[in-house]
Amino acid sequence: MKRAPKNARRPGATRATAAPRGRARRLEPVGEAEVRLVVNGAEVSRTVEVRRTLADFLRENLGLTGTHLGCEHGVCGACTVLLDGQPVRSCLLFAVQATGHDVTTVEALGTPEALSPLQQAFMDHHGLQCGFCTPGILMSAHALLRDRPRATEEEIREMLGGHLCRCTGYQGILRALRAAAGLPPEPAP
Partner 1 sequence: MKPAPFRYLAPRTRAEALDALRRYGPDAKLLAGGQSLVPLLAMRLARPAVIIDLNRIGDLAYVRPARAGLAIGAMTRQRAAEDDPLIAARYPLMVAALRWVGHPQIRTRGTIGGSLAHADPAAELPAVAAVLGARFVLANARRERVVDAAGFFTGYLTTALEPDEMLTEIRLPPPPTRSGWAFTEVARRHGDFALVGAAVLLVGDGEGRCAEARLAFTGVGAGPVRVPEAERMLSGERVTEALAAEIRRVVARSVEPEGDIHATADYRRHVAGVLAARALIEAAGRLEVGA
Q: Which residues bind partner 1 (CB under 8 A)?
A: 18-19, 23-31, 33, 49-51, 53, 56, 71-74, 77, 80, 83, 86-89, 91-94, 96-97, 140, 158-159, 161-162
Task: Give the residue with the Cβ less far from partner 1, 158 or 186.
Answer: 158
Shortest Å distance, C-beta 98 to partner 1 = 10
How far apart are CB 13 and partner 1 at their closest, in Å?
Answer: 16
Q: Which is nearer to partner 1, 18 or 114 (CB)?
A: 18
118 close to 178: Cβ distance less than 8 angstroms:
no
DSSP 74: S
Q: Minimum CB separation from partner 1 for residue 176, in Å?
A: 18
Within 8 A by CB and 6+ apart from 36, the residues are 10, 13, 14, 43, 44, 45, 99, 100
Secondary structure (DSSP) of 33-65 = EEEEEEETTEEEEEEEETT-BHHHIIIIIS--T
Q: Which is nearer to partner 1, 110 or 170 (CB)?
A: 170
DSSP H or E run through 122: helix 117-124
Rounded CA-CA distance 76/151 in Å is 22
User: Minimum distance from CB of 184 to partner 1 (Å)?
Assistant: 24
119 vs 54: CA distance, rounded Å: 24
For partner 1, the closer of residues 28 and 113 by Cβ is 28
